Amino acid sequence: MTATIARPESTAHPADATDHRPRLDEAVRVGATAVLWLALLLVTYWWVAGGGLQDLGGWESGLTSLGRVTGLVASVLLLAQVVLMARVPPLEAAFGQDRLARTHRLVGFTSFNLMLTHIVLITWGYAAGELTRTPGTLWDLTVDYPGMLLAVAGTLCLCLVVATSIRAARRRVRYESWHLLHLYAYLGVGLALPHQLWTGQELLSSTGRTVFWWTAWAVTAAAVLTWRVALPVWRSTRHALRVTSVVPEAPGVVSVYLSGRRLDRLPLEAGQFCNWRFLSGPGWTRSHPYSLSAAPDGRSLRITVQVVGDGSAAVTSLRPGTRVLVEGPYGRLSARARTRRRVVLIGAGVGTAPLRALAEGLTYAPGEAVYVERYTDAPLFVREIDTLARERGLRVLRLSGRRRSADSWLGSDLGSGPGSGPGSGSEPVADLDALRSWIPDIAECDVYVCGPDGWTDLVRRDLAGAGLPDDRLHLETFSW
């Protein structure tokens, strides 16, 4: 048997009515988007009011003018990029980690391209529009203008970050190295500050502009220092987390149990993840994102880790009593995103860890929640999931085997031959048809998906084909 549905044997409390948080999150998303666009429109207006459009009439002045406006827009987007990296709780809760990551990538590459365009155009313009004079002019600007040497250093830092963020490069860089290099983005943006505030006439030519830019920089710096530094240090000190045990779950997969003080005050929800630093020796400064695999009970926590690199391999040898620093919680894969009574949880491999926590932490009546697990060798948390099936009426669907093709998210043991899946005969069953057969009303559910990047793309494709609206798909992937 490759698929098993456990039928409910007992009743559970009906699902609670949905709360106000989805509406609040929508307001935050709209507000944050509006603030960014208003900032871009404001700096563009100031450029126009300062004669930017008129300057386009001449070759030399036009180059300089275009260089100024691209620099202004790039500056706003660079600050937005830092805020996206700052782990601001309202943004994290409203957008979710995957959506923030996509936005972070789009804004990052856009701001970087505009920054390079700014450098080229402004230098070309100062060189009286003559290409042959541009290298010499760039050198003069760098050594003679205040803050420009720092700006060059900042640009090199950002070039390093962007180069290692290209997908082809990321596949060749260890996560630990990539994470360390990515922190240079903060340094790069910080080094650009003196140049902009000392020599940028568009930034300081009026009181309003001066107030705007100083406030924007101050708010951005405060966000980083508060949410990336102060809050994690305070929470780690307050809760004093320590490892209590490390338990093997499957080959290459372990669960880490943690205890601490006043864990009921730690605002964690089932399905979320934190960045963890285990103070066990070299490498402790690098954080690693791991999801809760059990609903928090106020007394202990559990995360489940698959060994895929040096950091995760070190987790397997953690000793009881090891101190832990925590940053988070993060992610929207939680009850916060829920808008419907019926829920479907779809995961692959260790991606079932946050879904197992959700299966325990969500409220639902018998038959209102479906747990779908794709695995290759053996499913995770079998006894725990089966207990939830018996005691709370969780419907369980387990799909085994390797993926039957590069274009399928189902297992190779499902979908061909009598009795192996929905339908009949020897023809393979299409993924979408199988999904609709197992969960006919899936378009009316909230669906939580967690797994490898390419696999989740295929699941998302079929969920869209089944009619599920985008706002009821809650996604988290393993990509970084």
3-state secondary structure of 273: strand
Count of CB atoms situated within 10 Å of the CB of 23: 11
Q: What is the pTM of this model?
A: 0.81
Percent of residues, the chain, with pLDDT higher than 70:
84
Helices (H), strands (E): how many in the chain? 18, 11
Of 102-106, 158-162, 383-387, 408-412, give the range with the top mean pLDDT.
383-387
Query: In the sheet that 473-477 helps form, which strands lie side by side, from edge to edge?
Result: 395-399, 369-374, 343-348, 446-451, 473-477
* Strand duo 395-399 + 473-477: pairing: unpaired
Count of CB atoms situated within 10 Å of the CB of 30: 11
Which stretches of 331-386 are assigned E, i.e. beta strand?
A: 343-348, 369-374
* Strand duo 395-399 + 273-278: pairing: unpaired
Reported as a pLDDT band with limits 50, 70 and 90, residue 177 is low
Position with higher pLDDT, 286 vs 365? 365
Give the containing element (helix H, strand E) for 218.
Answer: helix 207-224
Reported as a pLDDT band with limits 50, 70 and 90, residue 415 is very low
Residue 326 near residue 232 (C-beta atoms within 8 A): yes
The string of DSSP letters for 155-172 reads: HHHHHHHHHHHSHHHHTT
Lowest mean pLDDT among 25-39, 139-153, 447-461: 139-153
Percent of residues, the chain, with pLDDT higher than 90:
47
pLDDT digits (tens, 9 = 90+) for 3-42: 444 433 333 333 444 468 888 899 999 999 999 999 999 9
Report the alpha-carbon distance of residue 114 to residue 70 in Å, rounded: 6
Give the containing element (helix H, strand E) for 243.
Answer: strand 242-250
The answer on pLDDT for 426 being more than 80 is no
Reported as a pLDDT band with limits 50, 70 and 90, residue 385 is very high
Count of CB atoms situated within 10 Å of the CB of 40: 15
Mean pLDDT of 155-184: 66
3-state secondary structure of 402: coil
Which stretches of 31-83 are assigned E, i.e. beta strand?
A: none
The answer on pLDDT for 284 being more than 90 is no
CA atoms within 13 A on the CB side of 316: 14
Tokens of residue 400, six digits: 């085994």
Reported as a pLDDT band with limits 50, 70 and 90, residue 478 is low
Sequence-separated (6 or more) residues with CB below 8 Å from residue 160: 181, 184
Mean pLDDT of 238-264: 95
Select from 350, 352, 365, 454 the least CA-distant residue to 397.
Answer: 352
| The Cα angle at residue 369 between residues 363 and 375, in degrees rounded to 5 | 125
Of 130-144, 172-186, 355-369, give the range with the top mean pLDDT.
355-369
Sequence-separated (6 or more) residues with CB below 8 Å from residue 37: none
Query: Which residue shows structure tokens 């297992």?
Result: 411
Query: Which residue shows structure tokens 């192996």?
Result: 420
